Amino acid sequence: MQSKCEATTRSLPGCAVIELRGEVDGSAAATLSAAYDGAVATDEPPCVLLDFARVDYINSTGIALIVSVLAKARAQGRQVIASGLSDHYRQIFAITRLSDFIQLYDDVDAAAASVGVA
Amino acid sequence: MTTASGERVLVRFTVASEPGNERLALAQVAEAVAGTGLTDDQLDRLKTAVAEATMNAIEHGNHNQADVPVDITVVDTGEGVAVSIVDQGGAHAPATAPEVELPDLDKKLAGLQSPRGWGLFLIQNMVDAMDVSTDGDEHTVRLLMRTTWPPRPRDPKGGSRAEQM
Q: What confidence score (pLDDT) does residue B161 get?
A: 31
- Alpha carbon of B119: minimum distance to chain A alpha carbons (Å): 5
pLDDT digits (tens, 9 = 90+) for B22-61: 999 999 999 999 989 999 999 999 999 999 999 999 999 9
pLDDT for the residue B157: 45
Chain A segment 57-86 residues within 8 A of B by beta carbon are 57, 59-61, 63-65, 67-68, 70-71, 74, 86
Asked if A83 and A49 touch (Cβ cutoff 8 Å), the reply is yes
pLDDT at B150: 61
SS3 A50: strand
Residue A54 distance to chain B (closest CA, Å): 17
Looking at the partner chain, which of B105, B115, B122 has a beta carbon nearest the beta carbon of A97? B105
pLDDT one digit per residue (tens) for chain B, 165 residues: 887 778 899 999 999 999 999 999 999 999 999 989 999 999 999 999 999 999 999 999 999 999 999 999 999 999 999 999 999 988 776 666 566 789 999 999 999 999 999 999 999 999 999 999 999 999 999 999 999 766 555 444 443 333 334
Predicted confidence at residue A116, as pLDDT, reads 64
Tell me, what's the pLDDT at B117?
93
Instruction: Give residue B149's pLDDT.
Output: 67
Per residue in A19-32, pLDDT tens? 999 999 999 999 99
Distance CA A30, CA B61 (A): 26
Q: Is A96 on the interface with B (CB under 8 A)?
A: yes
Name the residue in chain A with its Cα closest to that of B119: A60
Sheet order of strands, B129-135 included: B8-15, B70-76, B80-87, B138-146, B129-135
Q: Report the side by side order of strands in the sheet with A47-58.
A: A5-12, A15-24, A47-58, A79-83, A103-105
Spacing of C-alpha B133 from chain mean position: 11
pLDDT of residue A43: 81
pLDDT averaged per 10 residues, chain A (length 118):
86 93 95 95 91 97 97 96 98 98 96 75
Which A-chain residues 41-60 have CB contacts (< 8 A) with chain B? 57, 59-60
Interface residue A95 vs chain B (CB under 8 A): yes
Query: What's the gap in Å between the CA of B64 and the closest CA on chain A?
Result: 12
Rg of the Cα atoms in chain B: 16
| pLDDT for the residue A92 | 98
Whether A11 and chain B come into contact, CB under 8 Å, resolves to no
* Phi-psi category of residue A22: left, alpha or beta, with phi > 0 → left and psi -120 to 50 → alpha: left
Residues of B in contact with A90 (CB under 8 A): none
Query: Do B36 and B10 contact (CB within 8 A), yes or no?
Result: yes
